[in-house]
Amino acid sequence: MRVAKRYIAKEEVTTYSINTIEIIAETEEEAMEILRSQKGTLVDTDIQEERMDNRWIDSSEPLTSKEFFKFEEDNYHGS
């Protein structure tokens, strides 16, 4: 007899993005120092590329009785 379970999957994604950061400073040198210390204000993020690196099933667990009966009800095909 086959019994449905809940499977927990993981996806590893690499994202390349460009952040727009606002910095208030008197000079460009001071602005660069603030940027290096990560103290500017993030105002926008533009995602350039996302790449799916890996996918896998991490674990499984049994359904509760309520979930099982709901699954059976939704997937019953009269067989």
Question: Residue 39 burial by CB count (10 A; 0-12/13-18/19+): exposed, middle or buried?
Answer: exposed
- Report d(CA 14, CA 26) in Å as an integer: 36
The answer to whether the pTM exceeds 0.85 is no
Give the start-to-end residue ranges of the domains of the chain: 5-75
Per-residue confidence (pLDDT) for residue 77, from 0 to 100: 58
At 12-68, the pLDDT tens digits run 999 999 999 999 999 999 999 999 999 999 999 999 999 999 999 999 999 998 998
